[in-house]
Amino acid sequence: MRSFLHNLNQERIVFLLFLAIFVAFSVILPGFLNANNLVLLLQGISVLGILGVGLCVVVIGRGIDLSMVATMALSVAWALQLNIDGMNLYLALAIGLGGAVLVGLANGALIAYAEIPPLFATLASGACVYGFGRLALIHSDLVYVTPAVGDLTLLGQGRFLSIPMPVIVFAVIAVIVGLVLRYTKFGRFTYAVGDNYATARVSGVPVRHVILGQYVLTSTVAFVAGITQAMAVSSMNTRISDTLLIYEVILVVVLGGVGLSGGRGGVRNVIVGTLLIGTFLNGMTILDVQYTTQNAIKALILLIAIIADTLVNPRDEQTAQHGDI
Amino acid sequence: MTRPLLEVKDLTKEYRGIPAIQNVSLTFEAGRVHSILGENGAGKSTLTKMIAGAVHPTRGEILLDGEPIGFSSPGDALRSGIAMVFQETSLVPSLTVAQNLFLGDEKIFNRLRGLYISAQQLLQSLNFPVDPGALVSTLGSAQRQMVEIARAVRKNARMIIFDEPTATLTPEEKQHFFDLLDRLKERGVAIIFISHALEEALAVSDTITVLRDGEHVETDIATNFDRAKIIRDMVGRDLSSQLYDQEGKRRARPYGEKILSVQNLSMGRMVHNTSFSVYAGQITGVFGLIGSGRTESFKVVSGVVKRNFFHGGIINLLGKAIRYRTPSPAVKDGIAYVTEDRKVEGIFETMSIAESIDIGAMAASKHRSWFVNRRKMNENAAHWSKTLSVRSIDNDARVLELSGGNQQKIVIAKALVQNPRIIIFDEPTRGVDVGAIAEIHEVIKDLANQGLAVVVISSYLPEILSISDRILVARQGRVVEEFSAEEADEEKIMYAAVH
Ligand SMILES: Nc1ncnc2c1ncn2[C@@H]1O[C@H](COP(=O)(O)OP(=O)(O)OP(=O)(O)O)[C@@H](O)[C@H]1O
Ligand SMILES: [Mg+2]
């Protein structure tokens, strides 16, 4: 415990915060600490969590993918549309996934080869994906899941050992991405590129391929998140690209302690961030708090987490960056 | 004796409970140069950073004019007249030299022309050949350093701390720097000087303090010291091996296979039509002043920068023409480049020693393995930490937490682990202590003995002379002269580099 307190960092602070809120809600909110509600809580944050896990890959590589939600919405809507129009389900899904991968490749190419800052590259590509996809690939904003998809709906609505499938998808994606980041060359190179691009390059890391890979991975995860979401609510509303969802995804990533400056954090941080936000949203919903108020409080939480981090970790180490040690 | 300008009492700084500086008490007087010497990791930077407000002491007191002070930031210290010249990093790269010099002074900032004229005057009075209108990002490290010094001078600092200021300077620039120190002294500025070049310290200091393992060993007036005594104090025993001896003169290694041949290479404004070759089994020293294009030529060879698309020249590696657009294929082909600028392109700050070295290993490996080999990673780290005697608080230390010299060793290890055929060291011993210089030179010689083609770029002539079997001299973007170790001497090389 001593060393736990000694090594307080943002991840741990957020985790403690999560525990505190959780306990507080359990005490003051009737109906919070109840198996049904907890399952609901987890289910509610699964898609957000999957997106967060996907996004953290590019954030660790000192990038960002603002097109992620658009990619998720349009690639899945396209696949569903193709299926409605009579294509074999699995072929349609493969094509949708292919579309997502293409967006990832395009993002990666813009950033790694054309050297456009990730913020602008993905802002533009997100708008393109939505605009072009909506015009050319699907007939209406809302694409319904038809009974033709059969058992695939279980991915959104089924349960396994009484755990909702979206939660399981979240867990599986988190484990896969976590392992990739920790134990593969690609993962280590991602950290290297995020920590110091120039050093990675001079050391012989194929930096451009690594960046390409990061964005493809993020887009792929976005597709998985989209399928899970669509199966859960039986439709894909492409308007979701226009919502604040992408900022919520960034929030869970940053909140957990994956620094926007790159090279720091991992999947665990995203999970912690997601849990905090999930608990909080659930409690607010029980309390019947307005959406705008919820947003304001969310922003406050982010601010508190960052300030707490600065206070608990005196900046000695950081000041070391000001010069030769 | 007058009252000291600044005094530290029982100063201690601990990192994770382990002291980097322990109960050090010292006094610093106005108008005197006080050198602080010690091995890599002895605590020199930590001590001076506490004085400059960049690091907070764990225990102990700092007294300015007899009053206890506790600076919360370097800016705070600067307002009290204590400036620290860090190496290269506290400038804003996207601003011009003049803007950097007057950063924070909005009044002058408004009149841009006045800003440049004042900057010009300031730089001229210090004899620094730096264009005030140039962007800092385009400057070399020596010039950045000059801007840092100029800024401290402009702030009328009463005490200026120089942490290894001369490491990046050429001999001529060093002379300017020492003249500058004299002028600062005359103005009554107290100066703290940190350097691994002991001769320099002996020449410029009034007082010398030696630290070892974070503890104070000795403080005395400079004339009571000599090189051998300093080294004895630093390491706690005699170091027999003579640094920068001229053994190369007697036993130059013979030419091996011609590994690299460069013809008519051109790159932007830095390299013009240069031609040279590098042979296996020997050490090729490359000397040149700033702007001679020595670093850039070899950066082209290793793919770090691209040569001109048209009339860029020819590079042959073992008879095969190569043109790298990035370093990655060059590394795979066995060309490793050890950068001179470790902050910018040499280290991964957040990674541990083992992880950093492993990135180098994985980048070079021809195995099609997708996975990290933890065991191999730890073995490599242990092996190289031992070979280069890397010193850190513990094995999980992040590279950022190492002392400057130890960071340099990691940069070298990261390249050596790649098992290159040709290895290019750009200022390999910058910021490294005397003992470690000898060790690194041993490693470099070993590599040549094993048959590697080794290139050592250095602006320190004794280093070039002692280690090279063959010496190339670059001037204004091309290699102009080549000497064998037998015929070379300081005078000839300097003449070739300047004229
Ligand atoms: N931020 C930090 N966290 C942990 N340990 C640190 C930190 N900064 C320095 N140290 C440790 O403190 C010791 C002293 O470091 P310091 O940088 O003062 O050495 P130095 O004398 O300046 O060495 P050099 O000549 O290599 O620059 C080293 O062992 C270093 O690893
Ligand atoms: Mg130091």
Cα B278 from Cα B256, distance rounded (Å): 9
Residues in B closer than 8 angstroms to A316, CB to CB, are 55-56
**CB of B435 sitting under 6 A from ligand 1:** no
**CB of A115 sitting under 6 A from ligand 1:** no
Residues A196 and A287 in one domain: no
Question: To the nearest whole angstrom, how far is the Cα of B487 from the nearest Cα of chain A?
Answer: 35
* pLDDT of res. A322: 38
For residue B372, give the nearest of A185, A319, A322 by CB distance.
A185
Q: Residue B101 Cα, ligand 1 centroid: separation in angstroms? A: 29
> Atom 9, ligand 1: which residue's CA is nearest?
B401
Q: In this structure, is residue A201 part of a structural domain?
A: yes
* More confident: B158 or B144: B158
Residues A232 and A248 in one domain: no
Residue B404 has pLDDT above 50, yes or no: yes
- The three-state secondary structure class of A14 is helix
CB contact under 8 A, B371 and A263: no
Q: Are A165 and A237 in contact (CB under 8 A)?
A: no
Half-sphere exposure in the Cβ direction for B7 (13 Å, CA) = 10
pLDDT band at A44; cut points 50, 70, 90: confident
The arithmetic mean of pLDDT across residues A108-137, rounded, is 92
CB contact under 8 A, A187 and B372: yes
Instruction: Kindly give, in sequence order, each residue whose CB lies less than 8 Å from that of residue B216, ignoring residues fewer than 6 positions away.
Output: B23, B24, B25, B26, B209
Cα B47 from Cα A215, distance rounded (Å): 44
CB contact under 8 A, B163 and A187: no
Q: Residue B98 Cα, ligand 1 centroid: separation in angstroms? A: 32
* pLDDT of res. B242: 59
Question: To the nearest whole angstrom, how far is the Cα of B331 from the nearest Cα of chain A?
Answer: 5
pLDDT band at A325; cut points 50, 70, 90: very low
pLDDT per residue as tens digits for the range A190-209: 999 999 999 999 999 999 99
CB-count burial class (<10 Å; 0-12, 13-18, 19+) for A314: exposed
For residue A183, give the nearest of B326, B328, B372 by CB distance.
B372
Atom of ligand 1 nearest to the CA of B433: 25
Q: Are A199 and A267 in contact (CB under 8 A)?
A: no
Residues A69 and A114 in one domain: yes
Other Cβ atoms closer than 10 A to B386:
9
Instruction: Kindly give, in sequence order, each residue whose CB lies less than 8 Å from that of residue B67, ignoring residues fewer than 6 positions away.
Output: none
* pLDDT of res. B312: 84
Residues A158 and A257 in one domain: no
* pLDDT of res. B327: 94
Residue B76 has pLDDT above 90, yes or no: no
pLDDT band at B99; cut points 50, 70, 90: confident
pLDDT per residue as tens digits for the range B271-306: 888 999 999 999 999 998 877 888 999 999 999 988
For residue B359, give the nearest of A184, A188, A321 by CB distance.
A188
ipTM of the complex: 0.84
Cα B195 from Cα B210, distance rounded (Å): 11
Cα A216 from Cα A241, distance rounded (Å): 19
Residues A119 and A252 in one domain: no
- Crossing angle for the helix pair B404-416 and B434-449, to the nearest 10 degrees: 10
pLDDT per residue as tens digits for the range A254-265: 888 887 777 888
Read out DSSP for A268-302? HHHHHHHHHHHHHHHHHHHHT--HHHHHHHHHHHH
pLDDT per residue as tens digits for the range A280-323: 888 888 888 888 888 888 778 767 766 766 665 544 433 333 33
Q: Kindly tell me the sign of the dihedral angle through the C-alpha atoms of B137, B138, B141, B142.
A: negative
What is the residue type of B148?
E
> Who surrounds ion ligand 2 at CB < 5 A?
B 45, 404
Residues A197 and A123 in one domain: yes
CB contact under 8 A, A324 and B350: no
Q: Can you list the pairs that A93-99 forms with residues at least 24 positions away whose Cβ atoms lie under 8 Å?
A: A93/A227, A96/A223, A97/A220, A97/A223, A99/A74, A99/A75, A99/A133
pLDDT band at B106; cut points 50, 70, 90: low
* pLDDT of res. B250: 54
The arithmetic mean of pLDDT across residues A218-227, rounded, is 96
Question: To the nearest whole angstrom, how far is the Cα of B362 from the nearest Cα of chain A?
Answer: 7
**CB of B327 sitting under 6 A from ligand 1:** no
Tokens of B210: 């030696």
**CB of B195 sitting under 6 A from ligand 1:** no
Chain B nearest-CA residue for A265: B350
Q: What ligand is nearest to the CA atom of residue B211?
A: 1
CB contact under 8 A, A325 and B363: no
B332 touches A: beta carbon within 8 Å = yes
pLDDT per residue as tens digits for the range A23-38: 988 888 888 888 788 8
Residue A13 has pLDDT above 50, yes or no: yes
Q: Residue B41 Cα, ligand 2 centroid: separation in angstroms? A: 7
Average pLDDT value over all residues in chain A: 85
Cα A84 from Cα A146, distance rounded (Å): 7
Residues A191 and A130 in one domain: yes
pLDDT per residue as tens digits for the range B186-214: 888 899 999 988 888 999 999 999 999 89
Q: Are B419 and B449 in contact (CB under 8 A)?
A: no
- Rg over alpha carbons for chain A, rounded to the nearest Å, is 20
* pLDDT of res. A28: 86
> Atom 16, ligand 1: which residue's CA is nearest?
B43
Q: Residue B305 Cα, ligand 2 centroid: separation in angstroms? A: 30
CA torsion, ordered B230, B233, B239, B242, to nearest 10 deg: -10
Other Cβ atoms closer than 10 A to B245:
13
Q: In this structure, is residue A187 part of a structural domain?
A: yes
B359 touches A: beta carbon within 8 Å = yes
pLDDT band at B54; cut points 50, 70, 90: confident
pLDDT band at B228; cut points 50, 70, 90: confident
B51 touches A: beta carbon within 8 Å = no
Residues A90 and A224 in one domain: yes
Q: What ligand is nearest to the CA atom of residue B20?
A: 1
Other Cβ atoms closer than 10 A to B149:
22
Q: In this structure, is residue A323 part of a structural domain?
A: no
DSSP state for residue A324 in the 8-state scheme: -
**CB of B46 sitting under 6 A from ligand 1:** yes
Number of domains in chain A: 2
What is the residue type of B194?
I
Residue B110 has pLDDT above 80, yes or no: no
Q: In this structure, is residue A79 part of a structural domain?
A: yes
- Residue given tokens 């066995």 in the structure block: B334
* More confident: A181 or A164: A181
* pLDDT of res. A314: 46
* pLDDT of res. A317: 39
CB-count burial class (<10 Å; 0-12, 13-18, 19+) for A75: buried
Q: Are B82 and B157 in contact (CB under 8 A)?
A: yes
Tokens of B218: 């000795």
Structural domains of chain B, with CATH: 6-235 (3.40.50.300), 246-498 (3.40.50.300)
Chain B nearest-CA residue for A208: B326
Residue A61 has pLDDT above 70, yes or no: yes
Residues A158 and A185 in one domain: yes
Determine the longest span between alpha carbons in chain B, in angstroms.
70
For residue A192, give the nearest of B74, B346, B359 by CB distance.
B359
**CB of B429 sitting under 6 A from ligand 1:** no
Atom of ligand 1 nearest to the CA of B55: 1
- Crossing angle for the helix pair A207-233 and A89-112, to the nearest 10 degrees: 140
Q: In this structure, is residue A28 part of a structural domain?
A: no
Residue B84 forms beta bridges with which residues? Answer: B161
Residue A151 has pLDDT above 90, yes or no: no
For residue A204, give the nearest of B343, B364, B372 by CB distance.
B364
- The three-state secondary structure class of A68 is helix
Report how far apart, in Å, the C-alpha atoms of B35 and of each of A312, B81, B173, B325, B434 are: 35, 19, 19, 45, 16
Q: Residue B39 Cα, ligand 2 centroid: separation in angstroms? A: 9
Q: Are B254 and B281 in contact (CB under 8 A)?
A: yes
* pLDDT of res. B241: 53
Residue A160 forms beta bridges with which residues? Answer: A163
DSSP state for residue A203 in the 8-state scheme: T
- 3-class SS string, chain B: CCCCCEEEEEEEEEECCEEEEEEEEEEECCCCEEEEECCCCCCHHHHHHHHCCCCCCCEEEEEECCEECCCCCHHHHHHCCEEEECCCCCCCCCCEHHHHHCCCCHHHHCCHHHHHHHHHHHHHHCCCCCCCCCEHHHCCHHHHHHHHHHHHHHCCCCEEEEECHHHHCCHHHHHHHHHHHHHHHHCCCEEEEECCCHHHHHHHCCEEEEEECCEEEEEEEHHHCCHHHHHHHHHCCCCCCCCCCCHHHHCCCCCCCEEEEEEEEEECCCEEEEEEEEECCEEEEEEECCCCCHHHHHHHHCCCCCCCCCCCCEEEECCEECCCCCHHHHHHCCEEEECCCHHHHCCCCCCEHHHHHHHHHHHHCCCCCCECCHHHHHHHHHHHHHHCCCCCCCCCCEHHHCCHHHHHHHHHHHHHCCCCCEEEEECCCCCCCHHHHHHHHHHHHHHHHCCCEEEEECCCHHHHHHHCCEEEEEECCEEEEEEECCCCCHHHHHHHHHC
Read out DSSP for A114-181? S---HHHHHHHHHHHHHHHHHHHT-SSSEEEPPGGGGGGGHHHH-EETTEEHHHHHHHHHHHHHHHHH
B422 touches A: beta carbon within 8 Å = no
- Rg over alpha carbons for chain B, rounded to the nearest Å, is 23
Residues A151 and A257 in one domain: no
- Among the candidates A224, A239, A254, a domain finishes at A239
Residues in B closer than 8 angstroms to A324, CB to CB, are 45, 86-89, 163-164, 343, 404, 431
Q: Residue B409 Cα, ligand 1 centroid: separation in angstroms? A: 14
- Among the candidates A223, A239, A255, a domain finishes at A239
Which residues form the domain of A259? 244-311
Q: In this structure, is residue A49 part of a structural domain?
A: no
CB contact under 8 A, B360 and A203: yes
- The three-state secondary structure class of A260 is coil
A319 touches B: beta carbon within 8 Å = yes
Residues A109 and A166 in one domain: yes
Q: What ligand is nearest to the CA atom of residue B431?
A: 1
B311-B257-B447 Cα angle (round to 5): 105
Atom of ligand 1 nearest to the CA of A316: 1
Q: How far apart are the first and last CA of chain A?
A: 32
Q: In this structure, is residue A34 part of a structural domain?
A: no
pLDDT per residue as tens digits for the range B164-185: 888 777 777 788 788 888 888 8
Q: What percent of chain A has pLDDT over 70?
A: 91
**CB of B197 sitting under 6 A from ligand 1:** no
Residue A19 has pLDDT above 80, yes or no: yes
User: Which residue of B148, B160, B325, B350 to mutate against A (max A Cβ within 10 Å)?
Assistant: B350
- Among the candidates A219, A239, A259, a domain finishes at A239
Residue B479 forms beta bridges with which residues? Answer: B474
Chain B nearest-CA residue for A197: B345
Q: In this structure, is residue A23 part of a structural domain?
A: no
Atom of ligand 1 nearest to the CA of B214: 14
Residue B47 has pLDDT above 70, yes or no: yes
Cα A170 from Cα A224, distance rounded (Å): 10
A283 touches B: beta carbon within 8 Å = no
pLDDT band at B454; cut points 50, 70, 90: very high
Residues A228 and A248 in one domain: no
Other Cβ atoms closer than 10 A to B81:
18
* pLDDT of res. B141: 66
